[in-house]
Amino acid sequence: MGIAIILLLLIGAVVAWNCKNDQTARKIGLVVTAINAVLAVVMTVSVMNSGPQVLALGSGIGQQIINIGYIECFMACLFGIVGFLIVWASMSMISHDVEEKLIPMFYGLVLALLGTLNAVVFFESLLGVFISIELSSFAAAGIVIVKNQTENVHAGLKYLSLSILGSSLVLMGMVLLYVATGSLQIGGIAKVLQGSGFMAEKSAYVLWAYGLITGGVAFKAALFPCHIWLPDAHGTAPSPSSAILSSLVLKAYIVFYMKMVFGGVGFDLIANSPMRILLNVVMVVGVIAMIAGSVLAIMQTDIKRMIAYSSVAQMGYIFMGIGIGTEAGLFAALFHILSHAVTKSGLFLVAGSIIEQTHNRDLNKMGGLGKLMPVTMALFTIGGLSMIGIPLFVGFNSKWNFASAIVGSSNYWLLIPLSISALLNALYYLPVVIRAFFGQEAKECTEPLGSKERPIKDILPIILLACLVILFGVAAGPVSDFITKGIQALAAIGG
């Protein structure tokens, strides 16, 4: 079924792109993402019932294996459901940012992007993964450039060039791994790497290979200080694009990296081999990203750039979780992928609504907005509280998972940056909320309540995203169990 999802999205992309009429393209976008969401859920149910689905195409070195296990299903559902909600929200927002004649192209690119992201996650063969990564880079840059303003073109090109730098580093790492292990499948690599004595003998090879892949993924997933493209790209792109880029695109590369590290090297070797050094570096850089991203976010005055820098900080959390290198750390990182995806996509769409209705991006001029757009600002508040980590919102579960992972791995010093980071998150989300609802401007605001609110049917998808934030905040149990199963499967790859 994995291949069906990829093909559906890619064919949808071609059809949408070739539409003459922007209305038809919108409908195709909506219908295809809806079907994709349903397929992803159906696939998840069938994997839960009858185990992983493996499809092998061809043989020999070019053999392509598509292996749909728990983590793949988790990501497919995320791409499917969050992608659908964002595309739904874009129906009413996109014409604000994108010219009518480019709208078919926009939906074509979005569908192509979702298709390739799914492929990045589904393929077990490094060749297939690499091709998907490259294709997704172009589609991702495309949905930035499609706004067709000078700043977008600049941002998009910056994104594309650094993205290609990233993928070439990944490619070099893959080649090195192939030379060392003679396999291009994650499973095959795992068997060789985790075989007795291999790591002791060839640790330099492996370390170089993983170092290059880490560097490449750092660029693709905007790990500080390789994030320099992200604020420009996410800050200037059309808001639905920003939502997709931050909540979904970054995550696909991270999941690939997790599969390479935890599937390929395995938890045991990570704890007892030179790989530990590499992951320590990842952990420390993740911590720096967590703090630096938030500090940079506090300094912003543009709402979308602030949210974009917040993503840099959140990527830091995820890399810190990976760097901890235990199952609890990986669990925290995977859960945070979900948590960040539902929260951040909502925040970007809210920012888009605010900009569309008030033609203002400046955070300092948003005083009293709570009176004009009460529902929209309430949604922003939910997102902000989740980011700070208030209980009942999904961000709290993330924070708890990270704290537990840190305690479990005895890296107690990490608790201090974790606390500081929670504080920093509060320092850029709460003032916006406070100014909107309580400040002097709110008292002086004379326009009638709700006068700038968008119609409820247009913000319904954002409301649904906020519901997901609360749903996963109060009932994270089932999805946590699912992720745990995925981690067990990953740990078992090397046998």
Partner 1 sequence: MGLLLLIPILLPIIAGIHILKKNYEDRADRERFVSRAVILNAVIVIVMALFLRGQEGVLLPIIPGNPIAFKLDNLGALFAGMVSLLWILCIYYAFEYMKHEGDENRFFGFYVMTFGVMMGISFAANLVTLYLFYEFLTLANIPLVMHGDSIQAKTATRIYIIFSIFGAALALCGIAMIAFTGGGSTAFVPGGALKGVVAGATVIQIAFLFTFFGFGVKSAIMPFHAWLPCASVAPTPVSALLHAVAVVKAGVFAIARVTYFTIGPDLLRGTIAQNVALAACIVTIVYGSAMALMSQHLKRRLAYSTVSQLSYILFGIVLMSTDGYLGGMVHLFGHAIVKITLFLCAGAIIYKTGREYVWELKGIGKAMPVTMIVFTIASFALVGIPPLPGFFSKWFLTAATISSQGSMLAYIGLVALGVSALLTAVYLFSICANAFMPGEGFDYEAANKDVSDPNRYMTVPLITLAVAIILFGLLISPMINILSL
- Interface contacts to partner 1, rule CB under 8 A: 385, 388-392, 396-397, 399-400, 403-404, 406-408, 412, 415, 418-420, 422-423, 426-427, 430, 434, 437-440, 443, 473-477, 480
| Rounded Cα distance, 363 and 361, in Å | 6
Cα–Cα dist 24/396, whole Å: 41
Residue nearer to partner 1 on the CB measure, 7 or 407 = 407
Q: Which position has the token pair 């997704």?
A: 136
- Whether residue 147 contacts residue 233, with contact meaning beta carbons closer than 8 Å, is answered with no
Q: Given the complex with partner 1, which of 25 and 414 has the nearer CB atom?
A: 414
Pick the closer one to partner 1 by CB: 284 or 434: 434
First CA to last CA distance, the chain:
25
Q: Smallest distance from the beta carbon of 367 to partner 1, in angstroms?
A: 11
∠ Cα 325 328 332 (to 5°) = 95
- List the structure tokens of 112: 């192509």
Opening angle at CA 2, ends 4 and 478, nearest 5: 130
From the CB of 356, what's the least distance to partner 1, in Å?
26
Question: Least CB distance from residue 106 to partner 1, whole Å?
Answer: 38
H or E, element range at 54? strand 53-57
In the complex, the smallest distance separating the C-beta of residue 419 from partner 1, rounded to whole angstroms, is: 4
Cα Rg of the chain, angstroms: 22
CA–CA distance, 105 with 96 (Å, rounded to integer): 15
Q: How far is the CB of 440 from partner 1 (least distance, A)?
A: 5
Q: Which candidate, 58, 69, 139, 152, places its Cα nearest to that of 106?
A: 139
Give the three-state DSSP class for 337.
helix
Q: Which is nearer to partner 1, 197 or 477 (CB)?
A: 477
Which one, 277 or 415, has the nearer CB to partner 1? Answer: 415
Q: Which residues neighbour 296 within 8 Å (Cβ) at sequence distance 6 or greater?
A: 231, 309, 312
Widest CA span in the chain: 75
In angstroms, what is the minimal distance from the CB of 426 to partner 1? Answer: 4
Judged by beta carbon, residue 107 or residue 482, the one nearer partner 1 is 482
Only one residue has tokens 């916006």, namely: 432
Q: Is the peptide bond before 225 cis (omega within 30 degrees of 0)?
A: yes
In the bound state with partner 1, the residue whose beta carbon lies nearer, of 267 and 393, is 393
Toward partner 1, which CB reaches closer, 23 or 419?
Answer: 419
CB 421 to partner 1: min, Å: 8
For partner 1, the closer CB: 142 or 367: 367
- Is the CB of 256 or the CB of 472 nearer to partner 1? 472
Q: DSSP assignment of 74-112, as one string?
A: HHHHHHHHHHHHHHHHHHHHHHHHS-GGGHHHHHHHHHH
Q: Buried b / exposed e across 182-192, counting CB within 10 Å, b at 16+?
A: ebbbbbbbbbb
333 token code pair: 């990182």
Q: At what angle do helices 229-236 and 150-181 cross, to 10 degrees?
A: 130
Nearer to partner 1, 34 or 427 (CB): 427
Report the distance separating Cα 221 and Cα 139, nearest Å: 15
Considering the complex, what minimum distance in angstroms separates the CB of residue 383 from partner 1?
15
CB of 441 to partner 1, least distance (A): 10
Q: Minimum distance between the CB of residue 181 and partner 1, rounded to whole angstroms?
A: 37
CB-nearer residue toward partner 1: 52 or 413: 413
Strand 53-57 and strand 64-68: the pairing is antiparallel
**DSSP code for 326:** S
Min CB(289)–partner 1 separation in Å: 18
CA–CA separation, 272 and 183 (whole Å): 23
Min CB(380)–partner 1 separation in Å: 14
